[in-house]
Amino acid sequence: MQIKNIVKIMIGGMLLVSCETISETECVAGNWSDLGYRDGVSGKSRTRIAKYVEKCGEFGQDVDRNTYLTNYETGLTHYCTYDKGFSIGENGSSYNAVCEGPQAAEFRAGYDDGHALYELHQEYERYQNNIDDTENQIADVRSRVSDPEISADEKKRLSKKLRRLKNDLKDLRWDFRHFRQEYDLDW
């Protein structure tokens, strides 16, 4: 029982640390240009500064909003690119609407292209998983049909199921082949 409580306390502590946006040391150091730039390059939300103001206020420290926001915007120019959008979309991450103006269109185009590729990969894997699952079911039914101790009715039922599964597998393979041809996939 004590171990469970210790684990709960440790998890709670980790959650508190992960929710913390800035440390007292960072507030005192006040390197707002670096922090703004890093947040921009990472595509963090502009509203993050409000959390910094609140947290640093608890430590009696002020936030240099202008320096932070100026460098945030500079960092954001490195985030709001077609390539970064593509990378985020391809990884299946959700769209982060921090980019504005012409950069937003460029980032969004990359994100949409990357996300389309992500969706293709997902569909490809669904086909493979369905084929693997059906092949496993066929192997299972075959082993059960060959069991000498099953009744004639059970053997008849399993034989029908085996025929159905073989037809399903044939259809899945045909659909998968058609899918790969449609999108010219050779993976």
The model's pLDDT over 42-98, given as tens digits with 9 standing for 90+, comes to: 999 999 999 999 999 999 999 999 999 999 999 999 999 999 999 999 999 999 899
Residue that terminates a domain, selected from 32, 49, 79: 79
Please report whether residue 11 resides in a domain: yes
Do the Cβ atoms of 122 and 183 come closer than 8 Å?
no
One domain, residues 68 and 139? no
Domain with 42 in it: 1-79
Farthest CA pair distance, the chain: 83
Q: Look at residues 130, 143, 140, 125 and name the one whose alpha carbon lies nearest to residue 170.
A: 130
The Cα angle at residue 93 between residues 88 and 95, in degrees rounded to 5: 80
The predicted structure's pLDDT at residue 22 = 93
pTM over 0.85: no
Please report whether residue 50 resides in a domain: yes
Please report whether residue 91 resides in a domain: no
The predicted structure's pLDDT at residue 6 = 43
The predicted structure's pLDDT at residue 156 = 96
One domain, residues 74 and 8? yes
Please report whether residue 84 resides in a domain: no
Q: How far are the Cα atoms of 28, 67, 93, 98 from residue 46, in angstroms, in the given order?
A: 21, 13, 19, 7
Total domains, the chain: 2
